[in-house]
Structure formats: structure tokens, C-alpha cells
Amino acid sequence: MVRTLRHRGPDDEGRVVLPGVGLAMSRLAIVDVSGGQQPFESEDGAIQLVANGEIYNHQELRELLVGRGHTFSSRSDIEVLVHAYEEWGTDFLGHVQGMFGLALWDSRTRTLLAARDRAGEKPLYYALTSEGLLFASEIKALLSSASLSRDIDFEALDQFLTYEYVVTPRTIFSDVKRLAAAHYLVYRDGELEITRYWDAASVAPRQWTDDDAAEAVRETFAKVVARQMMSDVPLGAFLSGGVDSSVIVAMMVEASGGKGESVNTFSMGFTDGSYNELPYAREVATRFNTTHREGLVETKVVDLFDQLIVHFDEPFADVSLFPTHLVSKLAREHVTVALSGDGGDELFGGYDSYIADQLARRLAYVMPGGVARIVSGLTDLLPPSRKKKGLTNKIKRFVQGVAEEPDAIEHYRWMTYMPLRLKQRLYTSGLKRTLEVSDVYQPVREALGTFTGNDLLNRQLYADLCIYLSDDILVKVDRMSMATSLETRAPFLDAELIELVSSMPGHLKIRGNERKYVLKRAFRDVLPPTILRRPKDGFSIPIKNWLQVELSPMLQDLLSRDRLIRRGWFEPTVVQQLIQEHIGGRRNHAHTLFSLMVLERWAEAFLDGSSTHCGG
């Protein structure tokens, strides 16, 4: 199991096997490089622990615990977890600031405890089998066990085709679950119990003036970035030229005493101008005099398709996985740790979907469902633009969300990619029967319903923290960076910052059509005006164009009639029609076709040769 995760930790390997438990880990050495070997144990050997991640407040915790009589054997940040558990029991998680997936064995009570950090930066999967509880950072380690079946969870498959990822706690495998962020599990005497230990929805709203809110964001963010620069190995940052990554770089330079050349920054660009953000990244790098390096994403990324798609262990179709892997690979040539801007959009309101939902609510009085469906049918006749976000594409996407997705999922109407109408045509009768009682929108409704306040935007931001950020963005960044043995850290996801921003009303985050209002106000004297004013682009690739030419042979091979018939999930005639319309430029089916390609490649690697089929 542990050797399947060698990419996550190529520097060291440790394990301990005791009556009733085995713990093992692969280590990427970052703090106390020579002395931080795991597993760690308590002074009396009763507690054993392995963990993946970083504990940013480990120095403060160490001093506190030493003062209470605990003895440390290393300088490692991870060792504080053992002594914190000794001191506070399961409440120790409330004292820890960091990102982590951890597991500890308490031989005194024969209890295994496993936990994830508050935002879910570090993964943790588990499965109950005939041999007991298995857990790991990635599914591939669990699949090393012969006792684990590969039966498919078809509701998870439907989630994947709807959202392009599977929603926690499901995975594509029926017997494998993903522990949710800010949760811990306890396994004792064959019984499993899962508990939530923190929730951003419980943060009480406060009254803020614009100036006080901006000052608090500036002060807290500067502290968070400085704290996350903790490292005994070279460190850098991803830089897109957007507001989020730019403020991270600005604060890194500030924490470095203004020595910009000591800060390493990394960017990826495209030859297609509408996708290329390099000029913005260069402007920021020049402004702060960082040591900057760039790369280009080219169509030969197709050569990475098989390797990366299979690396996820379950279907995952966010196409930005490719540039994320490439920028991670570029960074790993020079550093071991990189700070990233993930989480800024979910905290401060950066996505188009929030604006789209506000607009749809205003238009609902003049464009009810029936009218919207007529307009959607008309706009669907317009040929798609080859640009990243052409006006035609925006109009078509907006109207489709209004016409074809349920109002109850609010802004997720523009975060889904396969409407029910298409599923009815695409899914075979057997797959449709299997999904008769499933509800693919339930996780979104539940997340929206968990937030009890009356602030619409904050409710939607909370849902995105729970779902889109946790199950798409952080999965992508973790897998693609760790595939290159690079650790990424997300300052925006520090719990102190999340709690601060969660206490602020939505009008401080989106004001009129200006997104991230309070964040931009906090750093308006730091960032160039061109960066503050530029619209949100997103980290994507021109997949819709590449599928028409460069990736067309792979598309037609993976979705050939013979393959589709053998798989038994999708109607070959419908798939062929989608392919012909897309290649001919009449429709943009990139999201659907790429998801189907990913699913087939994944199934080929993980299912073929097994007896997994859907009914009928």
C-alpha cells in the first residue's frame, strides 16, 4: 500500500505493525529533514501516528506542551500531533492550525483515529472490508488489498457526469468512501463513528465597515502567508496574474523583507491568446522583482492523458488538471513547496456563477421557465465561439442554466455540465433503471440548506467550500502537485482567515458587479491597477478546439461504437452525433465528450477484466 504512494513522499518510508494495527507512510521531507521520520510515538509508546501535511502553529503548540511536561524527540511539526492528542484527546484537532490527513493508534483503548484538516487540502479515503478498516491518502493504496471489491457506485458515476467530479463522501467505488473535510473517524471494536469537529457555517456574522474589513483582511492575510512560508527546503508560489495569486506573492515578498528575488514564482501560458495569462503574471513578477519562470501548455499534453487520468484513481474531468500538473512539474525543478491561490474565489466571491444567479433571480419575473426554454433553444442554434469566454458562449451558458437546471440548486445551475435532457438521450435503459431512485442534486441542496443565515451569497460561498472547492479544486491540486512530489499550500484556506471572512456580509465580497470587493480594497495600494481590474478567467485549456483537431483521433478511439457497446452505459448513436456536431463546429460538447473520454479510459484501467456491469 505505502509503495503505491511513493510519489507523495519519495524522501523516506516508515511503518509500524502492532497487534491489531499497521501504520505506514511515505514522507516528503520539509521540516526537520533529517530528524522527522515517521511514525511518531508518545513517550510511553502507547500512541503511534502517521500524517501527511504541515502544522503551521507547531512552534506555539510545542512550547505549550513542553510547559505541560511533554518530551519531544525531533523538531518535526508533525510530532506535536502525538502530544496534543495525549493532552486533549480528540479535542486536539481544535488546537491545530494546518493542512493534514492523519491517523493515530491508541493502544490503551485499541482505537484508531483518522482526521482531515478543516478545508480538506489533504485527502483521506477509507474502506470497511472483511479484514477490517483500510485507510490511505489515495484510493490506489486501498486497491492494493485483495479484500476490496471494485464494484461501481453508479450514483457516483452520475455525479461525475453532472459535475465532472464525484461528491464526498462517495467515490466511484461502492466500498470506498472519502472522509469529509473537518471530520474525524474513530474505529474501535469493529465499529466506525464519524464526527465533524469544525464548520464555517457556525461562524457568527459581525457588523463591518468597509475600511475595518479591508484592514482586517490585509493584516490576517499577511500573517497567514508568513506562517505558511515555514520550510527547511526551497519554497515558491504559483502565479497566474489573477488577484489571488498576486496578493500571495506580494505578501511573500513583504515577509521576505522586500527581497523579491528570494521569492520563486511559476506560471504556465498558452499560444492561444484568449487563454494566455502570462502577460499578467509577468507584470506582477516584474512589480515585485521575483525570480520568475514560465512554461507553455501545448497540444502535446495529449501525451499526458493516459498517465494523469489514471493517476486520479476515479473519474475526474476538470481539464485544468493538465496545466496544474505542468506548472507543478516546472516548480518542482526548483522548489519543494509552492503556495497557491486556491480558495480565494470561494471566500470572496470570484466566480461567474454568483453573478449569473443574481441576474437569473432578477429576470425570473420576465423570463419564466417556459420562455427560458424557448430562448435556450434559439441560442443553441448559434455556433460556438473558439474563444475562452466569447460573448456567444456566455449567453448560451447562462440561458441553458436558467432553462434546464432546477432553481433549488441556485448558482450550481452554472456549475453542472450534463442536463437531464441530455442524460435521457445518452444513458442506456439499463443505466437509467439503475439510477431511478438517485438524486444527483441532493448534495448541493444539503450544503445550501446547512447554512442557516439569510445572506444569499454567503450561503452559496459556503456550499462551494463544502463541495466544489473540496471535491474538485483541492483534489486536482493535491493529485497533480503530489504526482511531481511537490507540496502545495493554500493561504486562503487558513482557518483563521476563513473564520474572519465568514463573519463578513456578502455585500463586502460582491458589490454590484465587482467581485472580491473587500480583498481588492485591502490590497489596492499593493497590486497594479491592471490586475485589480482584470476579469476572472480561470485556469483552463482550449479543450473544445483541441478536440476538433489534435485530440480528435483519441476522442474517436475512446468513444468508438464498439467500446460503447461493450461498456453498456451510453447510447452509441447519441455519442456519435455529439462527436460529429462538435468536430463540425456546430455545437460545443467539449465538457460532455471529455468526461466520456475520461470515464472510458478510467474504466479500461480499473474495471476491464472484472465483473462490474450495470443492470440490463
Establish if 402 belongs to a structural domain. Answer: no
Answer yes or no: do 44 and 184 share one domain.
yes
Q: Does residue 579 have a pLDDT over 50?
A: yes
Query: Which CATH number covers residue 118?
Result: 3.60.20.10
Would you place residue 258 in the very low, low, confident or very high pLDDT band (cuts 50, 70, 90)?
Answer: very high
* Residue at grid coordinates 461504437: 561
pLDDT of the residue at 538? 61
Does 247 share its domain with 109?
no
Is position 410 within any domain?
no
Domain boundary among 508, 533, 558: 533
pLDDT at residue number 275: 67
| Mean pLDDT calculated for residue range 87-110 | 97
Is 371 among the domain residues? Answer: no
Q: Output the pLDDT for position 272.
A: 65
**For the chain, what percent of residues have pLDDT higher than 70?**
92
pLDDT tens digit sequence for 584-606: 988 889 999 999 999 999 999 99
| CATH of residue 224 | 3.40.50.620
55 and 167 housed in the same domain: yes
Q: Tally the domains of the chain.
A: 2
Cα(538)–Cα(525) distance, rounded to whole angstroms? 24
Q: Residue 615: pLDDT band by 50, 70, 90 thresholds?
A: very low
218 in any annotated domain? yes
Of 198, 220, 242, the position where a domain reaches its end is 198
**For residue 254, is it within any domain?**
yes
Sheet holding 47-55, edge to edge: 40-41, 47-55, 98-106, 111-116, 183-188, 191-196
Residue 463: what pLDDT?
98
259, 192: one domain: no
Q: Are residues 161 and 283 in the same domain?
A: no
pLDDT at 415 over 60: yes
Global confidence as pTM: 0.94
Q: What is the pLDDT of residue 101?
A: 97
Q: Which pLDDT score is estimated for 540?
A: 64
Give the separation between CA 588 and CA 390, rounded to whole angstroms: 12
Query: What pLDDT, on the 0 to 100 scale, is given for residue 616?
Result: 33
The average pLDDT across 314-343 equals 95
Instruction: Look at residue 611 and tell me whether its pLDDT is greater than 70.
Output: no
The pLDDT value recorded for residue 376 is 61
Q: Work out the angle at residue 238's Cα, subtended by the Cα atoms of residues 233 and 243, and round it to the nearest 5 degrees.
A: 135
pLDDT in tens, 245-254: 999 999 999 9
If asked whether residues 191 and 207 sit together in one domain, one would say no
In a domain? residue 613: no
How high is the pLDDT of residue 373? 62
Residue 9 CA to residue 484 CA, distance in Å, equals 10
Which residues constitute the domain of residue 23?
Answer: 2-198
Average pLDDT, stretch 60-72?
96
Least confident of 215-224, 292-301, 408-417: 292-301
Residues 173 and 45 reside in one and the same domain: yes
Q: Are 28 and 11 in contact (CB under 8 A)?
A: yes
Count of C-beta atoms within a 10 Å radius of residue 407: 12
- Asked whether residue 208 falls in the same domain as residue 322, the answer is yes
User: Is residue 558 in some structural domain?
Assistant: no
Q: Residue 387 pLDDT > 80, yes or no?
A: no
∠ CA(519), CA(536), CA(162), 5° rounding?
115
User: What pLDDT shows up at residue 233?
Assistant: 87
Point out the domain boundary residue: 159, 178, 198.
Answer: 198
Domain assignment present for residue 540? The answer is no
pLDDT at 273: 59
301 and 259 together in one domain: yes
Angle of helix 79-88 versus helix 58-67 axis, rounded to 10: 50
Is residue 234 domain-shared with residue 291, that is, in the same domain?
yes
Average pLDDT rounded to a whole number, residues 501-514: 96
Least confident of 61-75, 78-92, 380-394, 507-521: 380-394
Is the pLDDT higher at 575 or at 406? 575
Q: What is the pLDDT of residue 377?
A: 61
Pair 229, 241 in one domain: yes
| Strands, E assignment, 28-97 | 40-41, 47-55
Task: Report helix, strand or coil for 546.
Answer: helix
SS (H, E, C) 126-169: EEEECCEEEEECCHHHHCCCCCCCCCECHHHHHHHHHHCCCCCC
% pLDDT > 90, the chain: 78
Pair 194, 206 in one domain: no
